[in-house]
Amino acid sequence: MKQIAIIGSGNLAEALARAVAAADGLRLVQLFARNAARGGEVAALARTEWTDDPRRLARADLYLIAVSDRAVGEVAARLPIPDGAAVAHTAGSVPLAALPERFARRGVFYPMQTFTRGRKVDFGEIPVFIEASSPALCDELEAFARRLSRTVIRSDSAQRAKVHLAAVFACNFANRMYALGERIARDAGLDFGVLKPLVTETAAKARDARSPLDVQTGPAARHDAATLERHLALLADDPEMQELYSKISQNIWETSKRT
């Protein structure tokens, strides 16, 4: 697998295109994307050609479908991918079976990371979860993945779905908590900058600990009822936030009691 084509132009497609273009022994032959402006932009970043015309789809050893989860099957079904080529999607929560059975060589290449337009990432640090329709193809897909990442994990669709769920809690939900913290800080006349050292240290402690459970702090972990009540009073005008605060605090306390 040396000739690679990427289907899509989103945040993951951008990061993946850059990583493939920079990897030794690989050649990004084309970026295929329906969004002309974005497709051209990503192709330029990765120094490759771009097309939105299925008739001009380049020949490749591996076609990586980096589109939204709901579009994986539809996009794969309508592309004239050559017989014998490998096809893999990049979605964490989508099973291998989402790819049409007409592809004898189908797989999954899931990089577990958050991606943002224009933001560079070190792909070598990203765990990549792979799955394939045959042991031989899995070997090939792993060899390809190891040109990009130092951590490659063979994982079936059921395990990968749980990994994706874990990532939602650790990333998407955590970031939502940052945004809510920012909102409360702004109500106090401060900006998010005042919380950044706390965010940095919290993430660093969780990363370095045996388990995040070992470094849980705060009034809920201590079951500091007086502080919890004061916080709930400050949220009196927002019942939804009160409910969220109460449920998370109760979960922390129940977990802390067991450890």
Whether residue 183 is predicted with pLDDT greater than 80 in this model: the reply is: yes
* CA-wise closest residue to 111 among 97, 95, 120, 124: 124
pLDDT at 160: 96
pLDDT(150) > 90: yes
State both tokens at 204.
């660093």
CA dist., res. 251 & res. 247, Å (int): 6
- 153 forms bridges with which residues in the sheet? 129
Round to whole Å and give the CA distance between 38 and 159.
Answer: 33
Please, what is the average pLDDT of the chain? Answer: 95
pLDDT tens string 210-231: 999 999 999 999 999 999 999 9
Contact 146, 152 (CB under 8 A): yes
| pLDDT for residue 112 | 97
Query: Is residue 258 very low, low, confident or very high in pLDDT (cuts 50, 70, 90)?
Result: low
- Helical (H) or strand (E) element with 251: helix 239-258
Q: Count the alpha carbons within 13 Å of 182 in the hemisphere toward its beta carbon.
A: 11
Task: Quick: pLDDT tens for 2-30.
Answer: 999 999 999 999 999 999 999 999 999 99
Q: Which residues of 114-138 are buried (b: 16+ CB within 10 A; e: fewer)?
A: ebeeeeebebeebbbbbbbbeeebb
Helices 36-46 and 11-22: crossing angle, nearest 10°?
Answer: 30
Model confidence at 256, pLDDT cuts 50, 70, 90, reads confident
Quote the percentage of the chain above a pLDDT of 90.
94
Q: Report residue 257's pLDDT band, with 50, 70 and 90 as the boundaries.
A: confident
Contact of 17 with 40, CB cutoff 8 Å:
no
Tell which residue, 56, 109, 54, has the closest CA to residue 76. Answer: 54
Local structure of residue 147 (DSSP, 8 states): T
